[in-house]
Each structure stands twice: as C-alpha cells, then as structure tokens.
Chains A and B, each alone.
Chain A
Amino acid sequence: MKAPFVFSSLPSARVALFLAAFAFSVALALPACPQALRIASLRGAPGGHLSASLRAEPRTLNPVFATDSASRTVTSILNADLLHINRATDAVEPALASSWQVSRDGQSYLLHLRHGVRFSDGSPFTADDVLFSFRVYLDPKLNAPQRDLLIIDGQPIRVTKLGPDLVRFDLPHPYAATARLFDGIAILPSHLLQPLLEAGALASAWTLVTPPAQLAGLGPFRLRSYRPGQSLVLERNPYYWKQDAGNRPLPYLDEVDFSFASNQDAEAIRFTAGQLDLISRLTADTYSSLQKLSSSNLIRELDGGPGLEFDLLLFNLNADLAAHLPQAAHTQTWFLQLPFRQALSLAVDRPALVHLVFQDHAVPLASPVTPASGQWANPTLRPTALDLPRARRLLADAGFRWRGASLYDRGGNPVRFTIIATSSNRAQSGIATLLARNFAALGIDVQVVPLEFRSFLQRITQSHDYDLAVMALSAGDTDPNGNMSLWLSSGNLHLWNQGEAQPATPWEAEIDSLMRQQMTLTDIRQRRAAYFRIQSIYAAQLPFLSLVSPNMLAAVRAPLAGAAPGPLDPGMLDNIASFYWRKGL
C-alpha cells in the first residue's frame, strides 16, 4: 500500500490527508471486462520457486493491522485492491474493479466489480466483501491505520452497494486523486472475518499461527506454512484473477518463500551464496560489490533510477528554542538568515556526494520532489552548483567577517555548529562528514555528531535540541497529495519548524494555500502549476537543503524475469504475479 510521506527509516507513519471542497471530475468508462484481467504484453513460463527475504518477521497477516514493513509486504502479496497504481507508468489501473466512473461533481465514484473472481479458498468475491472491508477500515473502534486516508474533512467516505457487482463511493468533497486512494486497500473475505468482527475478535485475527485454511485473500499467493524464526512459505493462488497474453492464469511461480535476514550484509551473503533469488533496497556499496561479482552472468543488477526517497540537510528553524535551548537558539540566529542558508547551499558539492557516498547511483536535487515524481517535478529548477565565491559574497553582504580563515558573525561570534546524523546509517554519516568539510571551506567549524536513531529522532521531533541534521525522507506517493504532511505548516513532517499554529512566514502561508488548492483542482495542468510554484517558493526560501535522491537498487538471479524496482510499496514484489523463470538460461 502506498503510504503518505514517511521517515524512510521508519516502518510506517500514517498521516491524515487534508482536503478542501472544489469540483473535480474525470469520467473513465472502460468496457466491462469478462472475468479475468488479461495482461497483453506478458508471455512467461509457469512453474518454479522464488526465495526472498524480509528484514524482520512479519508481526501479523491481518491486512487491517499490518503497519510494519514486513507485514505489509506479505499482506500485499496475499491480498488485492479495487484499483491499483501501475508502478511503471504511475497511472491508476483497474484491479478487482474492472472499470470506474466519476460523477460530474467529482464526489461520487461508481466501481464495477470484476465478475467470477474467487478468494484463495474458492469462495466468490461479491460487493458484500467490498462493503464489509470498508466497514472494517472505517470502524472507529478498530481504528485501522487506513482509516485516516478514508476520512475526508472529518467525514468518512460512504460506501453503497447498488448491485451484486456495482458499488458507489461518496465523498463529502471533491478530491483530486481519489482513485489513488484505493491502491493498497485490501479487500477482505466477509465470509471468514464477519463472524470475528461481530465477536469483537478481528483485531487479534489472522496472526502468523492461524492455520492457512482459515485465511483467504484475493492476491496472487496464499499462505502455505510458517515456521517461526525460519521461513514463511506462500503457494500459488489457483483462483487468481489475472492472465497473461496466452490466457494462462497467473501467477507463474508455484511457491515463494521468505526467510528472515536482519541486515543487508546478511542478505547479500545469502544472495551470493545462491540462497536468495532477489534482494532489493540495496545500498550503493552492496550494489557495487555485487556488480563486481556479476562477471559470472548469474546475477543481474537492477538500477531503477532515483526513487521517492531523498537525503536532506535540515535547519533547526523551530520557534520554541529561546526558552530552554540557549545554544541552539544562538546558532539559529544564523540559520534564520536566508543569505546564510543560501551560502551553505552554494558550498555543498552535490556531485561529490553523489560520487563518493552513492558511488554515482544517485542524482543531485533541486527540491524535495524527486525525478521519480515525473510530471510533478518542476523542470525549471536546477540543483545548486558549488560556488564558493558567491557563497562568500552572500555571507559578507549579510555582515559575516573572516578573521584568518575562520568565519565570525556580525556580533563577533565564531560561526560553529554541529550536524547530527544517524550513526547506523552509513550514507547519512558520510554525507554529514562531507558537508562538514564543505562548510569548513567557508571558515565554519562544523562537528559531526553521530547519534543512535531513536535519540536522533527524539531531538528532531521532540526536544528540538540540534543545529543541523542530515536525514532521509521518502514521499509516500508521486502525487502531491501524498506529500501534504511535509508542505503544510501544520503537517507532522514540516520538520524545520514543527507545530506552527499559524504559518510562521508569508511564504509558508502561500504554500499552505497552494497545497490545499491543488488538492481540489479539476485540471491537472493547474495542479501542476500550483505544485511547481510551491517548489519555486521552496528553492527561493530553502527551509532545508534537498541534497540527493538515491537510486532504487536491486539484484536478481539472472534468469528471473519481470522484477523491477519501484518507488511505491511493496517495491519490487508489487508485480510478483508476473515473475517467471526464463528457460534455457
């Protein structure tokens, strides 16, 4: 499921989406599909087994309560959604709903369900299952993480059954990217879960020890067995509703087994030893060491280009420092000056970061909207190039002076500050080290302080006791609506100045209003114009420095076809139904 903007190192952080009332209407009427969904370009070979790994054991197999990354990966394979975002084209496509229509006012969605679809236990899929699923997701007592997404302006989406395969969704207000909301919302089997819901036992249902016969989903695979600490084995769902070009039922693979590896080194060792068939979310180091091994032609590396994740340098612009944190408040007087922030941006050698930290598997950024966002990235913005003379001029004009090689502010205080970074994240510590060296060229005494992740996060989000921080964020979606929590001044990832009751500056107020406006605009060109304007405001104001966006790196065993890294969850395993082993290799 696609998640809103998240800390990329955290499993998941759900954030409410903010909506306003304007009209948006797109009518998409696709011909009603008879039963299975046929993928016309796909011609694979059936059979075979796939070994993959998870960084941790899943905590649950219940899609309603799966919040950790491992559980979400597994439940996304066991289940299916009504509409699905194609990870390659970023377009919304039919899934369990074979077509959909939007009313002229943009507030009603009519979804035609695919006929003849069966759950993995053989029982039929009907509109009642859709009704039941949304009842579960919207139940305030269960408080499922998906609930926030389906509550618009405090009012839940209303779901009405119009026929055995026709369902209507009513929104309180028009919403620009409603179709994308359905991605990742797993449809549950009411025949199995309804009794549990009524008994009040749904929250504890479908754990890892539930017998496979009591589980059912609409995904390409179903559970075969689970051995604690060792493996989770999935088998082919014989009732799956997709076909390839030759009308052969998908998925091709007979079996998928997940083992558990706690870190990337362990995964890489197992992969090179032939115990795993694919590994994804690789760091540049691991990727290049695998590249050096690939002369044997047994391994294929996949560089999916930049994803939605990006590394940034955060300025502490929080307004609550003066009372309790005199030192942070002292360094903040520099960061509050725009020329100082601009000078630091001009001192950063972004190509060197890309080359040394990411071994050229990254791109320098001009704004937090990474190239993976496609049409939403403002093409007129360019990453800031290293320009020390200009940086020095900006500082001199702002009243900063040099004594010897060291920089002093207008009041004669030496300019020195710390950069905090997560000690366990090698890329981020590396960026901090290089930035410290970059800023030393301006005569600034910078100290890097590596912190354990939890205390790092505590400083960023709670105590605000830091000067600068190197961290990574990941957009939850390519669509701007997935990035509300970063841009809105009240958003919980508006990290540079948290908890603003009112926008602290006129430009933050403008971003707030543009962001709310684009959400309800009918014309995609107008939405883009608004989002481009937001990015231009960002580039002019630099509340944080967007540094680089790392590429999505993965590796597979050479004969495995169909796997490609993707920016949205669950990454490479999203189209696992189309994976197959090429013969004769």
Chain B
Amino acid sequence: MTLPRAALIFLVLYSALFAFAGFFATADPAAIDASLPYLPPEGIRFTSPAGQFHLRPYLVRPRPVPGQFAVYTRQDAAFIPLRFLVTASSADTAVDASPGNLHLCGISGGAPHFLGTDEFGRDVWSRLLYGGRTTLAIGLTASLAASLLALAVGLIAGSAAPWVDTLLMRLVETMISVPWFYLLLAVRALLPLRVSPWVAVAASTALMAAIGWARPARILRGVTIATHRRAYVTMARATGASPWQIARWHTLPDLAPQTLTQFTVLLPQFIASEVALSYLGLGVTEPLVSWGVMLAAAQHLSTFVEYPWLISPIWTMIPFFFSVHVLADRASSLRPLTLPSLSRHWYKLPR
C-alpha cells in the first residue's frame, strides 16, 4: 500500500472517531466532577489485583491523596471492570448524547477517564472527541467554502475579459494584504454578546473562508491562463466551443488537482486558526468544546509541566496534519483529469 493511500484510509477512520463522538465518548464533555480534578490518565489492566488474567479489562483508578489538591496515588488503586456497549446513565446529559444512547464502553456509577481529567474534573477523552468534531467541522467547512470560492474566482479571472481579470486580481491583492488574523479578532469582538455559541462558530468559519480564498484564487487563475494557451483550447475555440464548454471540458479538469491541493493546504491552516482563535478566547466558547478551548486551558506553565495529558489535542492534531499533508503532496502530482477524457469530448463537439 502506498503512503498516500494509507494516509487516506487513516483519515477516514480517524474522522469517524470524531464524527461518532457520542458513541466513542465515555462521559458528558461538560460534566464537572469536583472530586477528581487533574486526574492522570487511567490505565487498563487485563489482570485482577490478585494477578489473575481476565478477558474483561479493568480500569485502574488512582486514589486521591487526602488533604492534597490533585495528588493521586496508584497504591490501593481501584480496579473497576470495564463494560462494553453500554447505554448512557441518566446522569449523563451530554450535549447530544441523550440518555439511552449507546456508548462503546463505560463503568457502572461513573465514567472512565482514559486520558485523565482537566482542572474541573471533566473527562479529557470525551472532550477531545467532541472538541475534535467542532474543530474539524469548522476546518472542513471553511476550507471547502474557500476552495470553491477560489475556484470560481480563478476560473473567471483567467477566462474572462482582461478588465475583469484586473479587477479580481486587485481584489485578491487587497485581501492578501489584510492582516487577516487581526481582522478575525476584530470581527469576533464586534459580534453581539448574546449570540449562541454556534452562531459565533459559524461567523468565524465564514470569515476564515471569506479571507482564505484569495491566495488559492491567484494560483488557480494562473493555471487557467496556462490551460487557455494550450493548443487544444485554441483548437476548441476555433471549432466554435463556447467559453462554458471550454471551462467544462478543459479548464475545470485541468484545475482539479490544483484545487484539491489548495483544499488540503487550507485545511490544517484553518484548523490551526480555530485553535488559535479559541486559545485567545475569541472562537468557540464554553460550554461548547473544541481543541482550541482545551488548549487555552493548558496554556499556563504549571499545567503544561504537571498535567501533560491536557495538551492531548496537540498529539491528536499531529497525525491528522501529517496525513493531510501527505495527501496534499499526492494531489499536487495528480495528472489533470483532462488527458484521459480529452478524446471523448473532442468527438462530441457540436457541428
């Protein structure tokens, strides 16, 4: 199996983890447990405390040291049998995991904390999944919208009259020269106080897309112009093909690999933007959770050093970004879709 193929399969499976966050999560991502702040990741053992092997794994929950804040010991740790395919308890009121929803695993009378808990005793694993869903949804939507916009602008600028081209490219230059991050900050600050968190998220997404299209549009315009100088386009024009037909048969297929590449380049960029905005408290806000929200809580030195499991979104992002970049690399070397289909279109030209 080639590396790009492996990356694609990995990405699909990885995304499923976040898409079905409700199933894989073990707790309500907003549920607070004042008795277990900063709990380190809990281990899983296939042996009982007595040392006997069991097929049903145990969750090893460290005990809080009395009188000390967030200090846990593995001595006399509780061995809690893990149960699979459980329905959520009535106490579990996750944002969209209504009671009765199926979960991959759980324990009776609480929630397993595979990746530990944060400062308020909230489950990091569940927050990572729900947060990933928010972050990835924002990233995917914004980069899809930006790529399509870039494709449209690039195609029009490259094909239409020179004055249209000039106009659009000056617009692109204006967009590129805007310090977009600060613009995002300003626009988020201008949003009214009482918008729902989802509206704030949608506004950030729309803004990222509205600003992110400019650079790819410029590249796609270049590709369009290059295509238009090809002999087969000249021939198509000579045989009376309309601009729309030329776009459909020649330019768009030529632009496909480049558009895909731009999409894959934008995706990690926008995910990072979400993280940065939320980190600054300007993107996703509580009680919604995203990777940026999680990392914002881990930005202090003490957290970073003492509770390293709180930066788990970083470790989650690395394989994701890596796979996306592998795909971007592959996409840029894809052959234009034109070549194999060229002859087919050629002979269907109207008489």
B281-301 interface bits toward A, Cβ cutoff 8 Å, 1 = contact, 0 = none: 110011100000000000011
What residue in chain B is nearest A349 (Cβ atoms)? B34
Residues A450 and B120 in contact in the complex (CB < 8 Å), given A285-B303, A352-B34: no
A359 contacts the other chain (CB 8 A): yes
Q: How far, in angstroms, from A446 to B30 measured CA to CA in the complex?
A: 13
Contact with A along B148-180 (1 / 0, CB 8 A): 000000000000000000000000000000000
- Give A285 to B299 CA distance when docked, in angstroms: 12
Q: Tell whether, in the assembled complex, residue A285 and residue B302 are in contact, meaning their CB atoms are under 8 Å apart.
A: yes
Q: Is B119 touching A430 in the complex (CB atoms < 8 A)? A: yes
Contact residues in A for B32 (Cβ distance below 8 Å): 352, 356, 434, 437
- Taking CB atoms, residues of chain B closer than 8 Å to A327 are 192-194
How far is B32's CA from A430's CA once the two chains are assembled, in angstroms? 12
In chain B, positions 24-41 with a C-beta closer than 8 Å to chain A are: 30, 32, 34, 37
User: In the complex, how many angstroms separate the beta carbon of B343 from the nearest chain A beta carbon?
Assistant: 59
Chain A residues, CB < 8 A from B280: 423
What is the chain A residue whose CB lies nearest that of B69?
A359
Within B62-81, the residues touching A (CB, 8 Å) are 69-70
B121 within 8 A of A: yes
Please tell me if the beta carbons of A356 and B34 are within 8 angstroms of each other in the complex. Answer: yes
- Decide if A437 touches B30 in the complex (CB within 8 Å): yes
Q: Is the CB of A288 within 8 A of B302?
A: yes
Q: State in angstroms the CA–CA spacing of A123 and B196 once bound together.
A: 67
Would A450 and B121 count as touching, CB distance under 8 A?
Answer: no
In the complex, whether B305 has a CB less than 8 A from a CB of chain A is: yes
Write the nearest CB–CB distance from A552 to chain B, whole angstroms: 17
A423–B284 CA distance with the chains assembled, in angstroms: 13
Cα distance, A452 to B193, chains bound together (Å): 13
B197 at the binding interface (Cβ < 8 Å)? yes
> For window 424-441 of chain A, which residues contact chain B by CB distance below 8 Å?
426, 429-430, 432-434, 436-437, 440
Total B residues in contact with A, Cβ cutoff 8 Å: 27
User: Given the complex, which residues of B lie within 8 Å of A292, measured CB to CB?
Assistant: 306
Given contacts A426-B300, A437-B287, contact A450 B281 (CB under 8 A): yes
Q: How far is the CA of A286 from the CA of B303 in the complex (A)?
A: 9
Bound-state CA distance A269–B301 (Å) is 9
CA distance A447 to B288 in the complex (A): 9
Residues of B within 8 A of A302 (CB): none
Q: Is the CB of A433 within 8 A of B120?
A: yes
- CB atoms of A356 and B119 under 8 A apart: yes
Q: Which residue of A lies closest to B31 (CB)?
A: A437
The answer, yes or no, to whether A181 is at the interface (CB within 8 Å) is: no
A505 within 8 A of B: no
Find out whether the CB atom of A418 lies under 8 angstroms from the CB atom of B120. Answer: no
**A255 interface hit (Cβ, 8 Å):** no
A465 to B69, CA, bound (A): 38
Contact A289 B37 (CB under 8 A): no
Closest to B279 in A: A423
Please give, as numbers and ranges, the residues of chain B lying within 8 Å of A288 by CB-CB distance: 69-70, 302
* Partner among A265, A352, A447, A467 whose Cβ is within 8 Å of the Cβ of B285: A447
- The answer for the CA separation of A352 and B37 in the assembled complex, in Å, is 11
| Bound Cα distance from A450 to B192, whole angstroms | 13
Determine which residue in B37, B119, B196, B197 has the highest number of CB atoms from chain A within 10 A of its CB, and name it: B119
The answer to whether A268 has its CB under 8 Å from any CB of chain B is yes
Give the one of B37, B70, B120, B194 with max A CB within 10 A. Answer: B194
Q: Does A376 lie at the interface of the complex (its beta carbon under 8 Å from any beta carbon of B)?
A: no
User: Which of A433, A450, A467 is most buried by chain B, counting CB atoms within 10 A of its CB?
Assistant: A433
Min CB distance A198 to B, Å, is 49
Question: What residue in chain B is nearest A268 (Cβ atoms)?
Answer: B301
Given contacts A356-B34, A356-B37, A449-B193, contact A436 B286 (CB under 8 A): yes
Find out whether the CB atom of A429 lies under 8 angstroms from the CB atom of B281. Answer: yes
Also in contact, A449 and B285, with CB within 8 A (given A265-B300, A423-B280, A426-B300): yes
Q: How far does the alpha carbon of A228 sit from the alpha carbon of B194 in the complex, in Å?
A: 45
Say yes or no: is A466 at the interface (Cβ < 8 Å to chain B).
yes
**Could you tell me if A355 and B193 are in contact, using CB atoms closer than 8 angstroms?**
no
Q: Is B189 an interface residue, CB under 8 A from the partner?
A: yes
Would you call A262 an interface residue if the criterion is a C-beta within 8 Å of the partner chain's C-beta atoms? no
In the docked arrangement, what's the CA distance between A327 and B69, Å?
41
Q: Tell whether A360 is near chain B: CB-to-CB under 8 Å.
A: yes
A313 at the interface (CB under 8 A from B): no
Give the nearest-CB partner of A358 in chain B: B69
A426 contacts which chain B residues (CB < 8 A)?
300
Residues of A within 8 A of B (CB): 265, 268-269, 285-286, 288-289, 292, 327, 349, 351-352, 355-357, 359-360, 417-418, 420, 423, 426, 429-430, 432-434, 436-437, 440, 446-452, 455, 459, 465-467
Offer 26 A-B interface pairs, CB within 8 angstroms, sorted by A.
Answer: A265-B302, A268-B301, A269-B301, A288-B70, A289-B302, A327-B192, A351-B34, A352-B32, A356-B34, A356-B121, A360-B69, A417-B194, A418-B194, A432-B286, A433-B120, A433-B286, A433-B287, A434-B32, A436-B286, A437-B287, A447-B194, A448-B286, A451-B189, A452-B189, A452-B281, A467-B193
| Known contacts A433-B120, A448-B286; 6 further A-B pairs (Cβ under 8 A) | A286-B302, A289-B305, A357-B119, A420-B193, A450-B281, A450-B285
Q: Which B residues are closer than 8 A to A by beta carbons?
A: 30, 32, 34, 37, 69-70, 119-121, 189, 192-194, 196-197, 280-282, 285-287, 300-303, 305-306
